[in-house]
Amino acid sequence: MTALPTAPGPIGIFDSGYGGLTILHGIRQLLPQYDYLYLGDNARAPYGSRSFDVVYEFTRQAVAKLFEMGCHLVILGCNTASAKALRSIQQIDLPKLDPQRRVLGIIRPTAEAIGSLTKTRHVGILATEGTIRSESYTLEIHKLFPDIKVSGVACPFWVPLVEYNEGDSPGADYFVKKRIDQLMARDGDIDAVILGCTHYPLLMPKIAKYVPAGVRIVAQGDYVAASLASYLARHAELERRCTRGAGVRYLTTESPERFRETASVFLHERIEAENVPLGN
């Protein structure tokens, strides 16, 4: 195994595709002083319908790559990777790669926040098929708040709507309304809905249009950012290994040109990207 760099480095953020850019945006809004290294495994996306074993292997490769590139802390800015790979990486791989490095997910911070965001104690989840099937949100929420009832609905067409920049189209209304109606039909007492996919905040105008009045829409970016700030404050030794140059570098396993074009939909700014291989 190649020795990992020991010098301070950027905070790594990994996603199977583009959705983690909404997590990066939220983090940079709160913590702009740090350097960030974003890696999207766009060539093998989407992860949502892949098996636990495949998601774990792909995510493990990405984490190892970010470690090799100097990151001491990696955020899995992907709900599927957080649901299917985080625990295995923390328990199996970190002790072998470097016990001093850390990998964090994005489900736990949202679960921690939800207790103060619901009054009825009925919560809904809108997410990909893989995240819903894993029941990760239900499990995490029930660890903290056993009294909360959780209902989830998979939204298979929402990610393509975002990535093909069709989120504002009239056709998007049908797919957004259908899944929200389905969720509310399962439990009419829901008063908080978690957007359990990092793409979904880009559909916020449509989601807000069809979610019943009084129901809170919970996007992950702000809660993940606040959780990270708290984590760094509690772990000074790790925080000192995060460089502070306020820069961002973007990596993709696919075409840098395509990544740049699609990333602009998420970030509303022009960025440059580099290709990096993962796996065999």
Residue 44 CB coordination number (10 Å): 18
CA pair distance 78, 134, nearest whole angstrom? 14
∠ CA 224-84-127 to the nearest 5 degrees? 60
Annotated catalytic residue 197: yes
**Active-site residue identified among 71, 155, 197, 242:** 197
CA pair distance 259, 250, nearest whole angstrom? 9
Annotated catalytic residue 242: no
Cβ within 8 Å of residue 179, ≥6 positions away:
126, 153, 154, 155, 158
Q: Which two tokens stand for residue 170?
A: 């009239």
The residue type of 171 is G
Which residues is 248 bridged to in the sheet?
A: 36
**Active-site residue identified among 71, 78, 155, 242:** 78
Catalytically active residues, by annotation:
78, 197
